[in-house]
Amino acid sequence: MPIADRKPVVYQIEVQGRLDETWSTWFDGMAVTVGKSGSHKTVTTLAGPVTDQAALHGILSRIRDLGLPLLSVQRLEKETPSFLQEEISTP
């Protein structure tokens, strides 16, 4: 498949700590949500389409630069979170 034909892949990234929605722009428009983990620690979830591996590494570098512990990175192949459905389908 030519590179130009590839569609963005949706990723969900969890970090320990709190980021509010204003960070969305700095993280390439990813949705930012805050919740608690099983151990009651604050967890921020970034979710959204990522154009390619270089963009993913850029996002991970920004997380590193903020000093936030990275908890997980998941590629969501079959399920797109409901709060992203409209965002992804918008041209």
**What does the pLDDT read at residue 13?**
97
Rounded Cα distance, 60 and 55, in Å: 9
**What does the pLDDT read at residue 66?**
95
For residue 40, what pLDDT band results from cuts at 50, 70 and 90?
confident
Query: Who contacts 44 (Cβ-Cβ below 8 Å, separation ≥6)?
Result: 14, 15, 16, 17, 18, 19, 32, 33, 34, 68
Rounded Cα distance, 34 and 7, in Å: 27
Domains present along the chain, CATH in parentheses: 3-89 (3.30.70)
pTM of the model: 0.77
Q: Is the pLDDT of residue 84 over 80?
A: no
**What does the pLDDT read at residue 16?**
95
